[in-house]
Every structure is written in structure tokens, then in C-alpha cells.
Amino acid sequence: MSRRLLILACSQKKRAVPEDQETQAIQLYNGPLWQTLRTVDPQRKKAVPLFFSARYGLRDAACFIRPYDEQLTPESAQAAIARGLYGRLPARAPLLGYTFAASAIFCNANRKKPFTEICLVGGHLYLEVMRELVRLAQADIPEYVSRDAPVLEINGPIGIMRQRLRAWLDERRAK
């Protein structure tokens, strides 16, 4: 299992799936960054992908979700930051009837050794939330997210973001 953690913002562009059908997030999201991820790391061996969404919070990209249309607002970003690692999503946003605290997602994503590299990709509001969740994880659960893991943030024009994401995924690090 990779010791590299990738957290992507969800994507407004999604594949056509009936609203009552669940599909893996990595297959549902179809924006350019998700296309890059699926192309460069189809087997998910270069990094463990998580996502952050206004609807579902921090989740594993392999989890099953239903299509939705909800964007992160300054208010919902602040609410996510206030929930921190241990708060759960409001009842209006359950995933198949249950919700998860961000701490559980970090723990479940890496079962053996702490993540030693982290890459955050998304818009400014999404990065603000991701940055805080990673900071809290490094402080509170270093057995899952190393305190000294470097954190790369990718934001900017979509073409540049795709190039930087591809480059980060393709980096070869000493294990």
C-alpha cells in the first residue's frame, strides 16, 4: 500500500448515473483532475486517493456514493473545519444511512504505516478545509499521518493543475 496520500476536491462534472444508483466516487467524478487520476494511476498504487465534498465530507475515493449537486460555500467550509477530525456530517448528508468522522477516513485509508507524503488538489475553499484536516491529523493521529509529511497544494488554471497532479503521481520516491 502506498504511503502517499492524495486528497482531491469533488467534481461538479459527473458521469451520467441515475440519482438512486450508487457508484464509486472515483468513477462518478468526471472532471479533468479525476480523469488525470484514473489515467495516471488506474490501479491506485501511486497514492491512496481520498476526496472532500460539500455533501459527503472526507471520504475514500473507492466508496460508493449517489450523484448530487452541491458546492462548498464559505459557510459549509467553516462548518467542516469546525467539525474537525471527530465531528460527523449533519443528518441531511448521510451516506447510505450513516456518516463518518474524518479521523476514521484517515485511519481506514492507511492500515499499516503513516502517510509520509500528501498532495491536496482543489479550489481555494476546498484546500482550506483539506489543509486543516491534514494539520489536525498530523497533530492528533500521527500513527496514520506523519507529523513531518510534506504537503503539496495544487491550485490554479486547470491545465497547470493537471500537469502538477500527473508529475506528483509519477514521482518516484525512496521507500
Beta carbons of 102 and 84 less than 8 angstroms apart:
yes
Q: How far apart are CA 169 and CA 145, in angstroms?
A: 18
pLDDT digits (tens, 9 = 90+) for 37-82: 999 999 989 999 999 998 888 989 998 988 888 899 999 999 999 9
Is position 158 within any domain?
Answer: yes
Cβ neighbors of 155 (< 8 A, separation 6 or more) are: 121, 122, 123, 124, 127, 161
Q: Is 72 helix (H, G, I), strand (E, B) or coil?
A: coil
Per-residue pLDDT at 48? 92
Q: How far apart are CA 7 and CA 121, in angstroms?
A: 6
Q: Supply the DSSP symbol for 156.
A: S
Bridge-based pairing state of the strands 57-60 and 48-53 = antiparallel
Model confidence band, residue 169 (pLDDT cutoffs 50, 70, 90): very high
Beta carbons of 36 and 149 less than 8 angstroms apart:
no
Is position 118 within any domain?
Answer: no
Per-residue pLDDT at 29? 95
Per-residue pLDDT at 51? 95
Per-residue pLDDT at 133? 94
The CB density around residue 127, as the number of other CB atoms within 10 Å, is: 19
C-alpha cell at 94: 448521510
Q: How far apart are CA 37 and CA 86, in angstroms?
A: 28
Per-residue pLDDT at 89? 65
Is position 147 within any domain?
Answer: no
| Domain boundaries, position 84 | 4-113+125-141+153-170
Total domains in the fold of the chain: 1
Is position 120 within any domain?
Answer: no
Is position 19 within any domain?
Answer: yes
Is position 53 within any domain?
Answer: yes
- From residue 64, give the alpha-carbon distance in Å to each of 24, 34, 67, 96: 4, 16, 10, 9
Model confidence band, residue 104 (pLDDT cutoffs 50, 70, 90): confident
Per-residue pLDDT at 127? 97
- From residue 85, give the alpha-carbon distance in Å to each of 17, 165, 169: 31, 25, 26
Is position 132 within any domain?
Answer: yes
Beta carbons of 8 and 37 less than 8 angstroms apart:
yes
Claim: this prediction has a pTM higher than 0.75: yes
Is position 43 within any domain?
Answer: yes
